[in-house]
Chain A
Amino acid sequence: NAGVTQTPKFRVLKTGQSMTLLCAQDMNHEYMYWYRQDPGMGLRLIHYSVGEGTTAKGEVPDGYNVSRLKKQNFLLGLESAAPSQTSVYFCASSYSQGNQPQHFGDGTRLSIL
C-alpha cells in the first residue's frame, strides 16, 4: 500500500532553474497539501487543494505554484528557484472531515545552489 508518494526524493538545482515536485496519493483523499520544513521551524503550509481543479494559498506561497488536474495528484512548481527555497518539502493528503489526520509522504530534500 503506497499511501502518499513524492517524486523525486532528492534534487539539487541552480538558482533560477525551474522544477516540479510530484505528489501522488492512492487513498481517494479529497484534500492535498504541500508543506516545507526548515530547521527549527516545524512545517509550514505552502499551498493546498480541497478537490480536483482547486488550489489555495497557505502560509508561505510566494515563489511556488501548484496544480491539481487529477484527484490523486498534486504538483508543486518552482518557476525560478532561489537559495531561500532550500528545504525539505512534504506532501500530505486527507479526507475532508476535520478529525481525520493528514497522511504524509516521505519528503523531498531540495537544495538550491
Chain B
Amino acid sequence: AQKITQTQPGMFVQEKEAVTLDCTYDTSDPSYGLFWYKQPSSGEMIFLIYQGSYDQQNATEGRYSLNFQKARKSANLVISASQLGDSAMYFCAMREGPRKLIFGTGTRLQVFP
C-alpha cells in the first residue's frame, strides 16, 4: 500500500530564514509523482511544486524547492527566505497511478518576525 508520512506536526521559522518540511513516502510503483500543497487559514488548497519519479533534477518554483532523495524515499520541501505569508498548513501528496492523490497529515508552519 502506498503511504505518505509527514512527521512534523508543527514547525517554527523566523522571517527571512529557510525551512525544510519533511515528507517520506512508500511505494512499489516505479512511476510516481510527488506534490506539495499549501493550505492557509482561509482554507483553500494551493499547488506549490511537483516532482516526478523519473525527473533527474530537483524541482524548483521560485522560493520553493524540493529535495528529492529517491533512494531514501524522501521529498522534502525547502522554503527559502520565509515570509509571514508562508504561515500555513503544508501537505505532501503522492500520485497513485495516473489519477489519485494520497495526502500526508500535514505540517503547520508558523513564521515569526
Contact = CB atoms under 8 A, between A and B. Distances in A.
Q: Do A and B come from one complex?
A: yes
Interface of A: 31, 33, 35, 40-45, 48, 50, 58, 88, 90, 92, 96-99, 101-107
A20 B63 CA distance: 40
A98 B44 contact: no
Nearest to A88: B43
Contact of A98 (B93, B98, B105): B98
A107 B44 contact: yes
B99 A99 contact: no
Determine the interface band of chain B, counting residues with CB < 8 A from chain A: 20 to 34
Nearest to A3: B44
B50 interface: yes
A103 B50 CA distance: 13
A42 B104 contact: yes
Shortest beta-carbon contacts, A-B, top 7: A104-B45, A42-B103, A101-B47, A43-B103, A42-B105, A98-B98, A106-B44
A101 B52 CA distance: 12
A24 B105 CA distance: 27
Nearest to A106: B44
A106 B95 CA distance: 21
21 contacts: A33-B100, A33-B101, A40-B105, A41-B105, A42-B103, A42-B105, A43-B103, A44-B103, A45-B100, A45-B101, A48-B100, A98-B52, A98-B98, A99-B33, A101-B50, A102-B101, A103-B47, A104-B45, A106-B43, A106-B44, A107-B44
A52 to B, nearest CB: 15
A104 B44 contact: yes
Nearest to A105: B44
Interface string B70-100: 0000000000000000000001010100111
Interface string B14-53: 0000000000000000010101010000011101001010
